[in-house]
Amino acid sequence: MNACFSAATTQLSLYWNADDNVEDIRRYTAGGFHPIRLGDVLSPPLSNSDLSPARQYRILHKLGHGAFATVWLAEALHAPSQRYVALKICAAEADSRHELDTYNRIPAGDEMQNVLRLRYSFSLQGPNGVHTVLVHDVLGNLLDAVNAPGGRKHARMLCRQIACGLTALHRHGIVHGDLHSGNVGIALPTLDEHSPYSILDYFGEPECTIVLPTAPQANPEALPPYLVAPILVIDFLASKDPAFADTPLCAVIMDLGNAIAVDEETRPSCTAAAVCAPELMFERVVRSVHPSPTRASDIWSFACTMYELVFGLPLFYLAFPNDELLREMATLCGEVLSGWKSYWESRERLRSTHISREAADADWARQLEDFTKGPGETHTRAEIEEFFALLRSMLKIESERRVSAEEVLQHPWFARANDASG
């Protein structure tokens, strides 16, 4: 199945409803998620030719979830040199083979230091099917690091690191396809120095919602006994590890589940609306199709991500695939594509909006004033003018006119990216 598979769900009534920060319990069905209990030890099956010690991963806590997987903090019992890993346990129906093939295209070396490595992978048989498990380094949340006191000063440096990672991916023919702040993590190099007890003691007793259906289930083993709220490991390090505070932040692009190689067959894009390029969004809104992402659509997504990191605000508020988002995109860019004109004229809200280069210039000028006024602002007018020039070279409504990742990386705005104020 492709990366935009329809999530397998089943109707299920429970006595207690969990908060929004956990996965949908209805995904625990045939083809869906694998039920996990804290303390479970997962062991890949050994092959006849495997002479290395058996790998064992003990589940310690939840790190997060997405539409295609749950992610867990695990202790690598067999590898004292790397105590902790993140286990991404994919839904049985997910197209995990594609993600594995994408990781296999990534070469080793410093060039890819800002792209998450795949440490290992294995298959896991469960009541809901066969699941691919991807073993990665544990990463912190990018926005947590940037939004922490004093964290915003690192935004330019982090943007440059993301640009390095994206440039490396594009150079090797890989389009990320879903680049946004939630798909970029922060490396946690000092995590392995802490004991499981110290980490778990810091977060206290896990926040769990007991899974108790209101009616007997035909396949009760398909369900987990409880749903676990995730933890933010970076909070532990920021609070309890002075060495981490003194370690320069390092951004790492992750989640290649929606990535595509430029030489493979087209695959539908699943780019989040808030960072989705206009050419993809127009097809999604007008024709209900999802074209493949491209290097150029990655550039648009990256521009939206940089704006959020630098200013702490999304470029497009409450973004949904609709006419309003198309209108905001055209207004920002100051033009409507010729291929959009017939649709544009058929919608009263769109055709009545004044779209021009002059109006777009005025809007960017207003933003410049907003971000430079007040005694608490950390950006000079010249810095923001330079940053806006970079953004506008990336946010071209015509994809062919956008700069490449290489050109983004060479932009003068990044010249001071390693400064303390960057």
The per-residue pLDDT for range 174-183, each reduced to its tens digit, is 999 999 999 9
pTM for this one?
A: 0.91
* The length of the chain, given as a count of residues: 422
Cβ partners under 8 Å of residue 43, min gap 6 = 54, 55, 56, 57
Residue 173 is predicted with a pLDDT of: 94
Summarised one tens digit per residue, pLDDT across range 111-135 is: 889 999 999 999 999 999 999 999 9
Please provide the DSSP assignment of 206-263 as one string: --EEE--BSS--SSGGGS-SEEE----HHHHHHHH-HHHHTSPP-EEE---TT-EETT
Summarised one tens digit per residue, pLDDT across range 159-192 is: 999 999 999 999 999 999 999 999 999 999 999 9
User: How is residue 149 written in tokens?
Assistant: 């006191």
Opening angle at CA 63, ends 259 and 52, nearest 5: 75
Cβ partners under 8 Å of residue 104, min gap 6 = none
In Å, what is the CA distance from 267 to each residue of 51, 148, 258?
38, 37, 9
Confidence of residue 7 (pLDDT cuts 50, 70, 90): very low
Name the H helices within 88-209: 96-104, 142-147, 155-171, 196-203
Number of H helices, E strands in the chain: 14, 13
Which of the listed CATH numbers 1.10.510.10, 3.40.640.10, 1.10.10.410, 3.50.50.60 matches domain 268-421?
1.10.510.10
Q: CA 231 from chain center: how many Å?
A: 17
Q: Which amino acid is at 3?
A: A
Please provide the DSSP assignment of 387-417 as one string: HHHHHHHH--SSGGGSPPHHHHHTSGGGGGT
CA-wise closest residue to 96 among 2, 196, 31: 2
Query: Residue 234 in contact with residue 137, Cβ under 8 Å?
Result: no
Q: Which amino acid is at 181?
A: S
User: How many CB atoms lie under 10 A from the CB of residue 137?
Assistant: 20
Cα-only R_g, the chain: 23
Confidence of residue 335 (pLDDT cuts 50, 70, 90): very high
At residue 63, the 3 state secondary structure works out as strand
In Å, what is the CA distance from 45 to each residue of 69, 120, 325?
21, 13, 48
Q: Which amino acid is at 326?
A: L
pLDDT at 349 over 50: yes
pLDDT at 52 over 90: no
pLDDT at 375 over 80: no
pLDDT average, residue stretch 325-339: 96
Summarised one tens digit per residue, pLDDT across range 135-154 is: 999 999 999 999 888 888 89
Let me know if the fold of 10-45+53-141+187-257 is the same as that of 268-421: no
Query: Residue 46 in contact with residue 131, Cβ under 8 Å?
Result: no
- Mean pLDDT taken over the chain: 90
d(CA 96, CA 81): 28
pLDDT at 421 over 70: no
CA-wise closest residue to 210 among 33, 369, 14, 399: 14
Residue 376 is predicted with a pLDDT of: 57
Is residue 88 annotated as involved in ligand binding?
yes
DSSP class of residue 351? H
d(CA 101, CA 103): 5
Summarised one tens digit per residue, pLDDT across range 287-298 is: 999 999 999 999
At residue 62, the 3 state secondary structure works out as strand
pLDDT at 1 over 70: no
d(CA 322, CA 329): 11
DSSP class of residue 308? H
Residue 2 is predicted with a pLDDT of: 43
Q: Give me the residue spans of the domains in the chain.
A: 10-45+53-141+187-257, 268-421
Query: Residue 181 in contact with residue 128, Cβ under 8 Å?
Result: no
pLDDT average, residue stretch 224-234: 95
pLDDT at 417 over 60: no
pLDDT at 38 over 80: yes
d(CA 331, CA 325): 10
pLDDT average, residue stretch 10-36: 87
Confidence of residue 379 (pLDDT cuts 50, 70, 90): confident
CATH code 2.60.120.10 for 10-45+53-141+187-257:
no
